Amino acid sequence: MTITEEIQRRRTFAIISHPDAGKTTLTEKLLLYGGAVQLAGSVTARKNQRATTSDWMELEKKRGISISSTVLQFDYDGYRLNLLDTPGHKDFSEDTYRVLTAVDAVVMVIDSAKGIEPQTRKLFEVCRQRGVPIFTFMNKCDRPMKEPLALLDELERVLGIGAFPVNWPIGNGADFQGVYDRQTKTMHTFERVVGGKYRAPETVGGLHDPAVRGNLSEADFAKTVEELEMLEHAGEIFDDAAVLAGKSTPVFFGSGVNNFGVQLLLDGFLKHSPAPKSRVMGGIEIAPENPAFSGFIFKIQANMDPKHRDRIAFIRVCSGKFDRDMTVHHSRSEKKVRLSSSHKLFGNERETVDEAYPGDVIGLVGHDSFGIGDTLTTDPKILYKEIPRFTPEAFSYLHNPNTGKYKQFRQGLDQLLQEGVIQALYLRNSSIKTPLLAAVGPLQFEVVQFRLESEYGAESRLEAAPWSVVRWLPTDIKEEELDALSLPTGARLAYDVGKNPVILFQNEWSANYFGETNKNTPLSALPVQTTRE
């Protein structure tokens, strides 16, 4: 295969939504229908039930929520898919947003009983800003759902995106039978299988074919026919250009847990979603076919496999071809590094990979100097600046109650900081040695404590810190100028990991007051990108 053919068959996409809409369940079902797993697991980790492939972390299995994004690479129907399941909880949105920089399309999952929820709206906004094509899966049609027309209307009204129903639900809630595929004009009715572990037996036929009508009542059937006529009458056609521009979203209905409509989503997605495209950085366009290899690191994760206590840097390949053992330029250290330990990833399983192409996400092991956001390339002129950073809103000291385990505590914490699970701040002119942690949301503290204990055997104790707002000062501010600042009551000066000065305030009001009275010292809510060496 030529490099162009390799690129054209790549599909790199994330599943996003508000917590609990069914991302991990759908991911598992895409793996089932994609032939990557034989038996689907379930997120409700009841006894005797397989856990899902993407929620492999101990705490995820325990809580039944996703905490960290997961990469799954597999082949299906000639395509190579790089699928990323993301956490929905807002406390982990930094991880989710990083993933969005690494994908070419997203599947947005909506709980059809609830419609568009706040976190979905936020994630949608990020996709829109990046111009990422969005495919919509209206999930949980097996529960009393909102009217399908009302759901489409919500997409248009709340998100301001055109919505094109590719298929249409037949029945609703307990009477949900399947979907009508408007492209092929066929009804697909399904049978429920216990636990949704296997593919759901499916009957396909024309709209008026009694064999495929399942247990649908006359009234429900009449309603479906009327709605379909209405949609046909509206005369809208599938507009690929609008989808690729992120202006319109193809909508699929179904039920992930019951496997209804999953195959249609998978096939429809692959048919209409884009292969990797050029990226524009600092005004330079880098095409995937560019002969120089390039990519950037968007995620770091340690201890994925208890057998190998090591850390993996996840890189999204953007251009050229990756060959194992190749030597590349590493942007942060400005040094040449040899990439000899490269892996393809499937949840927490890994396998050595010898080559990779644009669109692929691969894991690199054995490079402690790699950090999130770093570019690796054979052309040092290429530099990606993709990774967004978030303003922390929760602050806590993390104590080590067991001095005998200081080494484990410190080592574990340093690792988690490097993964970006949480940030650390260092108070200025302070003798306090207890780390001050800064998080987007308090669940991140829980993850730190759990992982310290389970992966490093280190206990820890949290102590709330008295601040709730952090603002960055200009990076070039001088030490004397810091000394001369007059801070509001309770505020403190500190540094982030990049040694950039910040001010910690007790509340928003205090931060605003400082801003008003110190016009010459502009504050910024977002961490500055440059670091002072």
Ligand X SMILES: Nc1nc2c(ncn2[C@@H]2O[C@H](COP(=O)(O)OP(=O)(O)OP(=O)(O)O)[C@@H](O)[C@H]2O)c(=O)[nH]1
List residues near Mg ion by CB under 5 A.
23-24, 66
Taking the complex as a whole, the smallest distance from the CB of residue 46 to Mg ion amounts, in Å, to 17
* Cα gap 355→424, rounded to integer Å: 37
**Taking the complex as a whole, how short is the minimal distance between the CB of residue 123 and Mg ion, in angstroms?**
13
We find the least distance from the C-beta atom of residue 490 to ligand X, in angstroms, to be 35
For ligand X, give the closer residue by CB, 23 or 98: 23
Q: Whose Cβ is closer to Mg ion: residue 24's or residue 42's?
A: 24
**Helix or strand (DSSP H, E) at 3:** helix 3-8
- Contact partner, 44, from Mg ion, ligand X, none, Cβ < 5-8 Å per class: ligand X
Cα 452 from Cα 94, distance rounded (Å): 20
Nearer to ligand X, 7 or 421 (CB): 421
Residues lying near ligand X in the complex (CB under 6 A): 17, 19-25, 43-44, 65-66, 87-89, 139-140, 142-143, 255-258
> What is the phi/psi pair of residue 7, to 5°?
-65, -45
One-character DSSP codes across 88-114: -SGGGHHHHHHHHHT-SEEEEEEETTT
- Binding partner of residue 20 among Mg ion, ligand X, none, CB cut-off 5 to 8 Å per kind: ligand X
We find the least distance from the C-beta atom of residue 172 to ligand X, in angstroms, to be 12
Query: If contact means CB under 5 to 8 A according to the sort of partner, which of Mg ion, ligand X, none does residue 142 touch?
Result: ligand X
User: How many Å apart are CA 460 and CA 452, to the nearest integer?
Assistant: 8
> Cβ closer to ligand X: 59 or 383?
59
Rounded least distance, CB 246 to Mg ion, Å: 24
List the structure tokens of 175: 């009477």
256 binds, among ligand X, Mg ion, none (CB under 5 to 8 A by kind): ligand X
Nearer of residues 61 and 143 to ligand X, judged by Cβ = 143
Q: How far are the Cα atoms of 129, 154, 246 from residue 121, in angstroms, in the given order?
A: 12, 11, 14
Q: Which does 25 bind (CB under 5 to 8 A by kind): Mg ion, ligand X, none?
A: ligand X
How far is the C-alpha of 228 from the C-alpha of 17, rounded, in Å?
A: 27
Cβ closer to ligand X: 21 or 364? 21
The entry of Mg ion, ligand X, none that residue 21 binds, CB within 5 to 8 Å by partner kind: ligand X
Tell me which of Mg ion, ligand X, none is bound by residue 259, counting a contact when its beta carbon lies within the kind-specific cut-off of 5 to 8 angstroms.
Answer: none
Is 30 or 318 the residue whose CB approaches ligand X more closely?
30
CA distance 124 to 129: 9
Nearer to ligand X, 25 or 73 (CB): 25
- Give SS3 for 323: strand
Q: Which residues of 38-55 are buried (b: 16+ CB within 10 A; e: fewer)?
A: eebbbbebeeeeebbbbb
Structure tokens belonging to residue 265: 């989503």
Place of tokens 């001088």: 478
Q: Residue 189 touches which of Mg ion, ligand X, none (CB < 5 to 8 A by kind)?
A: none
Q: Any idea which residue has 């599943």 for tokens?
A: 15
Alpha carbons 230 and 150: distance in angstroms, whole number: 14
Q: Is the distance from CB of 73 to CB of 81 less than 8 angstroms?
A: yes
* Residue 249 binding target from Mg ion, ligand X, none, CB below 5 to 8 Å by type: none
Quote the least distance from Cβ 20 to Mg ion, whole Å: 8
CB of 76 to ligand X, least distance (A): 20
Give the C-alpha distances (Å, rounded to integers) separating 317 from 95, 156, 347, 363, 451. Answer: 18, 34, 18, 11, 29
- As a whole number of angstroms, the distance between CA 478 and CA 56 comes to 47
Cβ neighbourhood burial of 483 (10 Å; 0-12, 13-18, 19+): exposed
The tokens of 457 are what? 């055997």
Half-sphere exposure of 377 (CA within 13 A, CB side): 22
Question: Which residue's C-beta sits nearest to ligand X?
Answer: 88
Q: Which is nearer to ligand X, 66 or 408 (CB)?
A: 66
506 exposed, middle or buried (CB, 10 Å; 0-12, 13-18, 19+)?
middle
User: Please, what is the minimum distance in Å from the beta carbon of residue 138 to ligand X?
Assistant: 10
Three-state helix/strand/coil letters over 467-491: CCEEEECCCCCCHHHHHHCCCCCCC
Answer with the entry of ligand X, Mg ion, none that 17 interacts with (C-beta below 5 to 8 A by kind). ligand X
Q: Which residue, 66 or 189, has its beta carbon nearer to Mg ion?
A: 66
Smallest separation (angstroms) from Mg ion to the CB of 266: 18
Please say which residue, 95 or 374, places its beta carbon nearer to ligand X: 95
> How far apart, in Å, do the first and last CA atoms of the chain sit?
45
> Minimum CB separation from Mg ion for residue 54, in Å?
7
Shortest Å, Cβ 189 to ligand X? 16
Rank residues 24 and 378 by Cβ distance to Mg ion and give the closer one: 24
Residue 139: CB minimum distance to ligand X, A: 5
Q: Which does 19 bind (CB under 5 to 8 A by kind): Mg ion, ligand X, none?
A: ligand X
